[in-house]
Amino acid sequence: MHLAGRVPVELKPLVDGLNDLLNRLDIASQSQRTFVADAAHELRSPLAALKLQIQTAERDGSVAGSTTFARIEGRLDRLIHLVQQLLTLAREDAPRAVQFKVVSLRGLAERAVADASVLAEARKIDLGLECDDASTAHDLYNVHAEAGGIEVLLNNVIDNAIRYTPEHGKVDVILARNGAEVSVRVVDSGPGIPETELERVFDRFYGSIGRKEQGSGLGLAIASRIAQRHNATLRPENNNGRPGLSVALTGLRSG
């Protein structure tokens, strides 16, 4: 937004300077978003090809049983995940016109839980969805939202909960409705986060001290941006009286 309108002659150099600064900041911001998107896009293809070559070598038996190979494959998976998150972040940072419509939060949550079930099973995590009146014909969890954005938010929060929950732990996705407000909470039985670090969990590339799991550090930052776009609140808090973290999305407008 440029400063414009009728201004005194004495202030015109100042106004022109501010307009120029705002213009350069806008160009720099756009250049940064473009760079992140382009870099992530260019990295995605060679990483996918390398992953395919590793899988072929494993099937051939030439590297079977190698602990070094297992570490390489694990780090490659992390790189591929990071690239995908960078692409998502670039899309979320870009200004755009968003059209909200009535969507089923229950349906989006069911799909997110189904998508995460493979990772949960691999890590021996009990993943479930809880909601009242799930069998009624009228969906109590319809909200005005952008379906794609809420789906990304749920996927990221659930993925984060699973990755930081120890084996044989539990992750619950809980839908609730209170009057006109619909909310969803993702509750895990992991180690939680030190109270002094809670307000930093949505920072980009944040990693809690002492947590062994290494993610991209972008999942919750992306989720936070999506919540802001919906004028909703995404709030983390440690579970009361038991281990684990609860991340709640509140303030969605019912449909």
Identify the CATH number of the domain in which residue 25 sits.
Answer: 1.10.287.130
Q: How far is CA 85 from CA 25, 81, 120, 152, 223, in A?
A: 24, 6, 20, 10, 11
Point out the domain boundary residue: 69, 93, 117: 93
The pLDDT value given to residue 107? 93
Whether 221 is in a domain gets the answer: yes
Mark whether 153 and 179 lie in a shared domain.
Answer: yes
- Structure-token pair, residue 74: 């694990």
Residues 228, 207, single domain; the answer is yes
* 82 and 105, same domain (yes or no): no
Domain assignment of residue 13, yes or no: yes
166 located within any domain: yes
pLDDT digits 0-9 by tens, 148-163: 889 989 999 999 999 8
Tell whether 128 and 244 lie within a shared domain: yes
pLDDT at 150: 93
CA end-to-end distance (rounded Å), the chain? 33
Task: Look at residues 65, 93, 121 and tell me which one is the last residue of a structural domain.
Answer: 93
- Name residues of the chain where pLDDT drops below 70: 1-11, 14-15, 24-47, 49, 60-71, 73-75, 80-83, 85-98, 133-138, 204-217
**Is residue 179 assigned to a domain?**
yes
Residue 4: inside a domain: no
- Domain span at residue 213? 101-253
Which residue in 66, 146, 162, 67 sits closest to 99, CA to CA? 146
Residues 61 and 129 in one domain: no
The pLDDT score that the predictor gives to residue 52 is: 74
What is residue 155's predicted lDDT score, i.e. its pLDDT?
92
Q: Is the same domain home to 18 and 122? A: no
Residue 134's CATH number: 3.30.565.10
One domain, residues 80 and 150: no
Q: How many domains does the chain have?
A: 2
- Whether residues 86 and 193 fall in one domain: no
Q: Comparing C-alpha atoms, which of 78, 178, 77, 161 is closest to residue 112?
A: 161
180 and 105 housed in the same domain: yes
**What distance in Å separates the CA atoms of residue 221 and residue 76, rounded to the nearest whole number?**
22
The DSSP letter of residue 239 is P
* Residue 173: inside a domain: yes
Same domain? For 109 and 186 the reply is yes
**Is 3 a member of any domain?**
no
Residue 197 within a domain: yes
